[in-house]
Amino acid sequence: MLQQFKKSIFGVLTCLAFLLSVFGGMSFSQEKTVDTEKLYSEIAGSFEFEYEGQYIVFVFTVEDGNLMGAPEGEVPDVLQPVEDKDMSFVGFSPDGAEFQFNFVRDDDGKITKCTIIVPAMGAEVEGARIKG
């Protein structure tokens, strides 16, 4: 009798764990999608950067649920979120150079700054939102 009770409890716990993983995962991923969409729309816009006397405008857009970015006038590439870092993304130039993008909110909660880091060049440049 004790043996059958253990099997029944194990079966119930297994079913419960499965249901929690399925429904809990669905709920979490839906919330994450909504948060991601909201964040991407908040980032979308133009930021101006100055590096060694040169000014460049970088444009961020949202296409098919992806955050895209490129210097103004160029074809945008998908930027991938950096795991465990809110508002940080990574992208690659056509020649394979890595670019890291870190966005910052102001005291009012608006995304107003972006820092671009190019590890291969040891460069870090801060830009300010100019549109969007």
Residue 111 has pLDDT above 70, yes or no: yes
**For 27-31, 83-87, 102-106, 116-120, which range has the lowest pLDDT when averaged over its residues?**
27-31
At 77 the pLDDT is 93
Mean residue pLDDT across the chain: 80
At 18 the pLDDT is 36
* Residue 12 identity (one-letter amino acid): V
**For 10-14, 79-83, 84-88, which range has the lowest pLDDT when averaged over its residues?**
10-14
Question: Which residues are CB-neighbours of 74 under 8 A, at least 6 positions away?
Answer: none
At 17 the pLDDT is 35
DSSP 15: H
Residue 47 has pLDDT above 60, yes or no: yes
Residue 103 has pLDDT above 70, yes or no: yes
At 30 the pLDDT is 44
According to CATH, the topology of domain 44-131 is Lipocalin (2.40.128)
**Average pLDDT estimate for 41-70:** 96
Q: How many CB atoms lie within 10 A of CB 96?
A: 7
Question: Which residues are CB-neighbours of 101 under 8 A, at least 6 positions away?
Answer: 69, 79, 88, 89, 90, 91, 114, 115, 116, 117
Most confident range, picked from 9-13, 29-33, 80-84, 110-114: 110-114
